[in-house]
Structure 1
């Protein structure tokens, strides 16, 4: 992570995402602008929350650990998303691991400032309520997926949640051998089972697997297998 000292870029992002409707900007909140590289961990599960984070560029993966030491995928989030709202409200350590899927830009606002200046601000509290409610909805969906969906459903949903519709058939997801095991853990299946699913989808010409990547060939059929489920 690195802090970006660019007041013009910060002001642009604050304006683009209408932060005047979230916080009292007349008090000149001490916003920070932070950049995270692909696969970099933004928040570790169990640490104390220092700042509320607003995702303004990129995509982030949220996963939660289980007693076996593995992780379960909860959702992917894109701008504008708030990271740390539940922890702020409940005053608890970070509940899930937050990791950048690609290069991300985040606006931070320190928890101490928020508790002093924003917790009685109706606009701020309304924004938190909207985002927490949405997370409850997505966590409910994720629980249903992890418990009830088939392995093909889960993997198709993972690919579609990771991909962007505009990229169509040119999209290639890097899939190193280590990544396959990680994805299997996230989706609650074994490495071998996921490999069988990948092989099956490749035989059906829905995806194409090369040595280091997967390419989506048939978005329509992948959508049908996913059955409307998304991790977001």
Structure 2
């Protein structure tokens, strides 16, 4: 993580995402502008969190792990997302692992400041409620998908959530096959099973496999295979 001392950039992001409609900016507010590189872990499960984080640029991956070390994909987040609202309200350690998918900018604001100045601000608490209800909705969807959807559905949904040219959350048009084991774990399946699904998609000319890279050939077919599910 890199702490940026860039007042013009900070002010531009505050204006872009209308922070004045959420927080009382008539007093000096101790914002911290943070930059994360692709693949960098923003938060680890179980760690203490001391600041609320607002994602204002980039894309994050949210996963939940169990004691065996395996992780399940919950959702991808993109601006404007709030990180740490559950931890703030419930006073609990970090509940999910947050990873930067691409270069991310986040604005941090300490819990101490929020508890002192903003918890009785109805505009702020309304924003928190909106984001919390969205997380409940997406986590419910993720649970249903991980329990009931086929691996074909889940893999197609993963592709639509991460690679689709029509997705606001898009971060790439190609997939590296050396990441298949990691993706299989996130989707709650085995490397071997996901490879069989991938091969079936290639045989049906939905995907093209070229060395270590996979490229989508038929987005309409991937959309149908996803069954309308998104990890967002």
TM-score range, shorter chain: over 0.9
Q: Structure 2 stretches of 5 or more lacking a match?
A: none
> Does the 8 Å contact 2:13/2:56 carry over to 1?
yes
How many residue pairs match? The answer is 228
Farther off after superposition, 125-134 or 198-207: 198-207
TM-score, length of structure 2 as denominator length = 0.95
Q: Per-residue deviation at 1:109?
A: 0.6
SS of equivalent residue, structure 1 residue 27: coil
> Does the 8 Å contact 2:51/2:109 carry over to 1?
yes
> Does the 8 Å contact 1:172/1:213 carry over to 2?
no
Query: How far, CA to CA, are the matches of 2:119 and 2:190 in structure 1?
Result: 44
The 5 Å alignment of 1:1-232 reads: 1-166=1-166, 172-177=173-178, 179-232=179-232
Question: RMSD of the alignment, in Å?
Answer: 1.2
Deviation digits for residues 28-66 of structure 1 (CA, Å, limit 9, x no counterpart): 211111111111100000000121110011110000002
- Report runs of 4+ in structure 1 exceeding 3 Å deviation: none
Query: How far, CA to CA, are the matches of 1:146 and 1:12 in structure 2?
Result: 39
Distance change >3 Å, CA 186–CA 7, structure 1 → 2: same
SS of equivalent residue, structure 2 residue 133: helix
Deviation digits for residues 2-33 of structure 1 (CA, Å, limit 9, x no counterpart): 01111000000000000011111112211111
> Does the 8 Å contact 2:53/2:83 carry over to 1?
yes
Query: How far, CA to CA, are the matches of 1:218 and 1:176 in structure 2?
Result: 18
Q: Structure 1 stretches of 5 or more lacking a match?
A: none
SS of equivalent residue, structure 1 residue 214: strand
Q: Per-residue deviation at 1:176?
A: 4.5
TM-score, length of structure 1 as denominator length = 0.95
